[in-house]
A and B are shown apart, each in its own frame.
Chain A
Amino acid sequence: MISVQHLTKGFDDLRRGWVAALDHVSFEVRPGEIFGLLGPNGAGKTTCLRILSTVLRPSSGTATVSGFDVVTHPTEVRKRIGFMSNNTGIYDRMTAWEMAEYYGRLYGLPEDVLKVRLEQLFDTLQMNDFRDTLGAKMSTGMKQKASIARAIVHDPPVIIFDEPTCGLDVLVARKVLAIVQSLKDQGKCIIFSTHIMREVEKLCDRIAIIHKGTILAMGTLPELQEEHHQPDTEELFFDLIERHDEQCRTTQSEFRLANS
């Protein structure tokens, strides 16, 4: 469903010069699977997912969604994914219903299908009590739900969640995770990025630990725990990141030595 090969993305930074936000990242995600992208802030998770959603273009490497290349067929890709992140806000001056309806139309759903789909969606997400509330008046939880409804209104085969529980209280976060789980049960191909271990343990079939633009480890949780002899996920995560930073520092000092 999703195939990412040697994806690289660099950008110009005033302070640091050229920075590679993604450095030869490769992974694959199959239908009916939740793939967890685990990494600290600034690891490159969002950049990677933005490339998958065709909002950014890769500097090099390829990424395909349902067989469509994100660079050559961006529209086809966008039709097949539902994308939700912290940066995909909802419109202040639109109600939840209008918002979902608008996106349904943009995805080209016929009016009758759209109507049925919206009713169903508002039922399953329990959004009926605020369907006519303007975005500006919604609580954070309502907004997140409206955002999910917007992302999956066209029933896409691939869904990308970028830190969907960020800033939510436990109750709402739990509900969001339940929604993700139920989507998986419907056979969707899901990428789920987060920096919270608990969510990964609970949801993800396979995970990739990403840090400073590179994937440090990838596999199912038990595989990783076995490979790195660390039964605790959190410790595993820390170990990997520490080790990578250590490595970087050595290379850097070697680099300096070589230069001096």
Chain B
Amino acid sequence: MNWQNVKLIFLREVRDQLRDRRTLFMVAVLPLLLYPALGLGMFAMIGNFAEQPRTVVVLGERHLPPPQLLDGGRFVSNWFSNPDDASKLMVVTDTAVELGGGGLNASRNLQLIKQAQELRKLVEQHTSLADELKQAEAEQQERQKDLAAQAEQSPAVLQQRIQQIKHNLAAIDRELTGLFAASQIQVLIVIPDGLRENIERVNRLIAERNTAEGSDLSYPRPTIVKNRADDKSVVAYKRVREVLDAWEGEILRQRLSDLGLPKELPNPVGSAPLDLAAEAQISASFWSKMFPALLVIMAVTGAFYPAVDVAAGEKERGTMETLLVCPATRTEIVLGKFFTVMCFSMSTALLNLLSIGATGKYMLSNPGNGMLAQSGGIALPSVAALAWLLILLIPLSALFSALCLALATFAHSSKEGQYYLTPLLMVSIGMTVFCMSPGIEIYPVHQASWFYSVIPVVNIALLLKTLLLDPSNTDALIFAGPVLATSIGYSLLALWWAIEQFSSEGVLFRDGERFEPGLWIKHLLRDKEPTPTFTEAGFCFVLIMLAQFATLKTFGQTITSVSQDQMGVQMLKVLVISQISVIACPALFMALILTTNIRQSLRLRLPDWKFLGAAVVLPLVLYPLVVELTASLTWFFPPLSEGAVRVIKSMSDGNQPLWLIVVAFAVAPAICEELAFRGFILTGFCRNGRTRLAIVLSALTFGVMHMIPQQVFTTTLVGLVLGLIAVRSRSLIPGVVFHFLFNSMSILRERVSTHLSAGHAEEFQLSFWSSFATLEGGLRFTWLTLLICGAAASACLWWVWQAGRAKVTSETGEGLFPNGLVPVKHQHPTCVS
């Protein structure tokens, strides 16, 4: 590695980017202009588009009881919590119009009142019909009760009447809605005649303590007409409600004082909130929600455009080959470009944050800004918080830069490159939305799991969220280690991928030939090769995952539709079917259609018996190790949901027939998963000549397929061993044997645990076996067992690693074509083909 070259390329790329108007605009000018411009826009909006007054019509003003509710064309301002709001409601009353008030608006007001009166008529009809309906329905219920006794009037007639009323009601409602929408009225308040007298009458009755049965306390109440589907009406109604509530409260207090009762009477509890948030904490909480999300999105966009320019743009402008013929290696070129992209990603993120911070601060400090000032004086984050922001920005930018660079290298042109931004941005936004959701923390205490601290992007965003909330939080610092380590790991992986992309001839010299699906399918079927290609293997995995997604519903239905005791058997059956249809079928199908040599594609050949021996010994010695490893990592993974635990228990408990459990958990996975993952997928991955990478990739796909984090971890490890055996023995059979035995061990352990804990525990503890295993919530293995197993497993694995090696290398010509070698059948001249 010549760092001088990396530096040279980096400096050139940076200069090149700085000379590019588009990049400069995206990275520097846009953030500096955008936020102040947005701020300016907000000022203008607040200034010019102040809330328009909404029209409220009050019919029957003269029947309003004291205290005064209306004052001219408005509500009295002291009923509002913010007296300024009084100007936001324009009140038109029938009394004022009758008196000829309203000045310039007289004719409009007159019309409003007319409309309101029409509405009032309809409202009254609506009320009476609704009452009638209620009566009729009550009658119907009554009748149904003693239907058996006697049926004088047939229920059908009553039913008909109800239908008729409902029909009329609907018609009136339609008319009412139409009329209300056509009017300029947002809220209509109808005060019934004699409201004031009625309230006074009732007040008197109460004062005389004459509220016993028989005295008439009921009277017609006002109606407020609004339309919930109309935003203007909703806003106006909210204010009217506030006013009326405050006003009614005053009437109530008046009533209480007349009676000589304390004002506190209606509030026996009257709880008062105590907000402990200090001002600094409020702003910290604000920033902790805002900055991680912004940082992620800015780091992506900041990385993306330069990445497209330095990779796809270089191809497009025809300078890629110029660069490739210089002495710098591909790795040096990619590193140089990577540092450029990262540099721009970080500057974009920082400039954006700075600009947002400055604009926000300026806007909030402006005293004339009523609405924003309510959000409180938000202080800028502390220096410590900003330092964390900077530190965590580095791995974040590194990850996105490498990722964008790999994508951009793959793209044939800048335009194609831009298309890849959307999915990347969508995924990032999804992740940030997840991180911003309240309650999501880097260390969810209720789950006690470190899982979030190893998920890319999410871990950084969550750590930043915690640290911005409280920069002195030393508890969170223990997560900085894993977060930084895994983030750097992911970045290196992404970088490795970018270098891979850059070293691939197919990617660098992808011709711009028009892509025709028909032609491509024809090509796939016509130019079949003996074994699957890398891409076909990858596609097989995608197919399996999609099929799995599609069957999720079936599992859910089985769980909900079947009774508790039936669930286990049903689930086991569904499991077997899904193993065959979801995992084995795609692989078999693809092997059948896309390859010429199915036996070779799926490794269907008899192995050396020694490998069979290894496949029998290995699961037995590996199983205790895996069990203990999983048990020792429970602190890391999020616990399974209770529902999932119940389903798993129901499938594997002693009530289910043993043969079904063995078939579902051992036989079916051993055959189906091996066919797919060690057969089709591993063979395909091996095609590019890098066996170790192929084994790792097949193990990863195998792990990911299991979806539950704990299982993903263990199955990936087991997948590595299975892949190694499959490659070395060049056969599927040892893998099937291994897989079957390994899964059977799991069933056996479950059974033995149940058996022993059911009354045989003491006997077991006294026996010879107690030095190998103990009973602690299931059979657990002692250090002695682990030592023996570890030694045996290492020896066995070492043998497998060595044994097949010579054989595989000497026979490569026969089976798998090493990188780029043209298959024999293609070596005739072109014109013959």
Contacts and interface: CB of A to CB of B under 8 A. Distances in A.
B822 A93 contact: no
Interface string A249-260: 101100100000
Given A10-B822, A17-B527, A212-B831, A57 B505 contact: yes
B692 interface: no
Contacts of B19: 93
B327 A212 contact: no
B833 to A, nearest CB: 6
Interface in A103-119: 103, 105-108
A88 B830 contact: no
Interface string B329-360: 10000000000000000000000000000000
Nearest to A81: B325
B312 to A, nearest CB: 15
Given A14-B519, A248-B831, A20 B321 contact: no
Interface string A44-85: 000000100111110110000000000000110011010101
Interface residues of A, number: 51
Interface string B315-332: 001111110111111000
Contacts of B419: none
B519 A85 contact: no
Given A14-B519, A106-B8, A248-B832, A55 B822 contact: no
B145 interface: no
Contact of A59 (B319, B327, B822): B822
Among B16, B326, B509, B527, the one with the most A-chain Cβ atoms within 10 Å of its Cβ is B326
B523 interface: yes
B7 to A, nearest CB: 10
Contact of B821 (A19, A23, A56, A59): A59
A218 B499 CA distance: 39
Contact of A17 (B5, B321, B523): B523
A88 B516 contact: no
Contacts of B326: 78, 103, 106-107
A245 B830 CA distance: 11
Interface in A8-22: 8, 10, 12, 14-20
Given A60-B822, A102-B8, A248 B321 contact: no
A94 B19 CA distance: 9
Interface in B501-531: 505, 508-509, 513, 515-516, 519-520, 523, 526-527
B576 to A, nearest CB: 39
Interface in B806-831: 820-823, 826-827, 829-831
A62 to B, nearest CB: 14
A12 B527 contact: yes
B649 interface: no
Interface string A1-45: 000000010101011111110010000000000000000000000
B646 interface: no
B516 A14 contact: yes
Interface string A88-104: 11111110000000110
A91 B830 contact: no
Contact of A251 (B12, B20, B523, B831): B831
B364 to A, nearest CB: 41
Nearest to B11: A102
A19 B325 contact: no
A188 interface: no
Given A91-B319, A105-B8, A255 B822 contact: no
B322 A150 contact: yes
B11 to A, nearest CB: 9
A14 B513 contact: yes
A55 B513 contact: no
A78 B327 contact: yes
Interface string B693-735: 0000000000000000000000000000000000000000000
Contacts of B320: 87
B830 A20 contact: yes
Contacts of B833: 16-19
A92 B318 CA distance: 10
Contacts of A102: 8, 12
B832 to A, nearest CB: 5
A157 to B, nearest CB: 14
B822 A18 contact: yes
Nearest to A147: B322
A56 B505 contact: yes
A18 B820 contact: no
A213 interface: yes
B500 to A, nearest CB: 14
A59 B826 CA distance: 12
A102 B10 CA distance: 11
Contacts of A50: 321
A108 B822 contact: no
Contacts of B322: 88-91, 147, 150
Contacts of A91: 16, 317, 319, 322
B509 A108 contact: no
A147 B322 CA distance: 9
A144 interface: no
Given A15-B519, A103-B326, A212 B829 contact: yes
A102 B16 CA distance: 12
A216 to B, nearest CB: 12
B16 A16 contact: no
Contacts of B829: 20, 23, 212-214, 248, 251
A5 B680 CA distance: 37
Nearest to A134: B19
13 contacts: A10-B822, A17-B523, A17-B526, A18-B822, A23-B830, A78-B327, A88-B325, A89-B317, A91-B322, A106-B327, A107-B327, A150-B322, A212-B830
Given A18-B822, A60-B822, A94-B12, 12 more contacts: A10-B826, A10-B827, A16-B830, A23-B827, A23-B830, A88-B321, A88-B325, A90-B319, A106-B5, A150-B322, A214-B829, A248-B829
Q: Which 5 A-B pairs have the closest CB atoms?
A: A89-B318, A248-B831, A18-B826, A88-B322, A10-B822
Interface of A: 8, 10, 12, 14-20, 23, 50, 53-57, 59-60, 74-75, 78-79, 81, 83, 85, 87-94, 102-103, 105-108, 147, 150, 212-214, 245, 248-249, 251-252, 255
